Amino acid sequence: MNYYESVKHTASYIQEKLNKIQAGTVAMVTGSGLGGLADDIQDRVELPYDDVPGLPVSSVKGHAGKFIQGTLQGTPVIAMAGRVHLYEGFSAREITTAIRALYECGVRTLLLTNAAGAVNPAFNVGTPMLISDHINFMVGHSPLRGENFEEWGERFPDMSCVYDRGLRELAMQCALKLSIRMEVGTYLAVMGPTLETPAETRMYRAMGADAVGMSTVPEAIVAHHMGMRVLGISCLTNKNLPDCIQEVTHEEVLEQADKASADMIPLVLEILKNIG
């Protein structure tokens, strides 16, 4: 079985276990601290990743994650609560299999959230950042490496506009309506799991990054490759500045992500309400 066939197999298993996947379903990946979003899903059906053939299972015990299907603000959704990361040892292709499979199930819109460090000195902790563009700095890794399957997209896909303009406009309008301050910027993805040295942070800022994190870009690349509409929002959990660098612990990132979700959750709910 090649990768394309294997993803088809994964997709048919998901379709068998979930309720019928309606047109207009939004897939959303809930990053660190945003698990609370999935709590409000109505009429839910859950499917743990470890039950699904072909999906990588997280090495972090108890954090394997699951799909949660239902409705949020009247919009049909499939939340992916928990994601696998490149730093766990999987390939970029493996960590994006679930996105390919949801596409095969008919999903055409993807909302990605994550926790990220702010490298733009003007951006504050706790503020959501709309991702307008990205830098794939997961050096040597691309989810499109290897055989290309034309059924999904081109060998050399255009990346001039990965994050859908209409969805970005909608997100801005929702933030304005709720009086939530939201920054807009470029997300740079690193493999991790190390956080940045001051020299690395300085380099990323010089390269044009506003925020840095360890996820999202591989998922956005495969979704855009297949022509899905992609929206990405980072939750800025720490300042990551070279000249006043502070120690960051994973616990602090998670704690801040929880606090910052105070703005992120209503914002995402408003977006879902109006996504159409």
Q: Which residues are the active-site residues?
A: 32, 63, 85, 87-88, 115, 214-215, 238, 250
CB nearer to ligand HPA: give 64 or 248. 248
The least CB distance from residue 238 to ligand HPA, in Å, is 5
Q: Are strands 183-189 and 75-81 parallel, antiparallel or unpaired?
A: unpaired
CB nearer to ligand HPA: give 10 or 261. 261
The least CB distance from residue 209 to ligand HPA, in Å, is 10
Question: Dihedral sign, CA of 27, 231, 205, 142?
Answer: positive
**Max CA pair span of the chain:** 53
Q: Where do runs of H (alpha helix) occur along the chain?
A: 3-17, 36-39, 97-104, 165-177, 198-206, 217-225, 250-274
CB nearer to ligand HPA: give 102 or 236. 236
The least CB distance from residue 201 to ligand HPA, in Å, is 8
The least CB distance from residue 78 to ligand HPA, in Å, is 24
Chain residues in the site for ligand HPA (CB under 6 A): 115-117, 195-196, 212-214, 237-238, 240, 248, 253
Cis ω for the linkage preceding 56 (within 30 of 0): no
CB nearer to ligand HPA: give 57 or 254. 254
What is the C-alpha to C-alpha distance for residues 243 and 104, in angstroms, rounded to an integer?
46
Written as six digits, the tokens of 166 are 């209409």
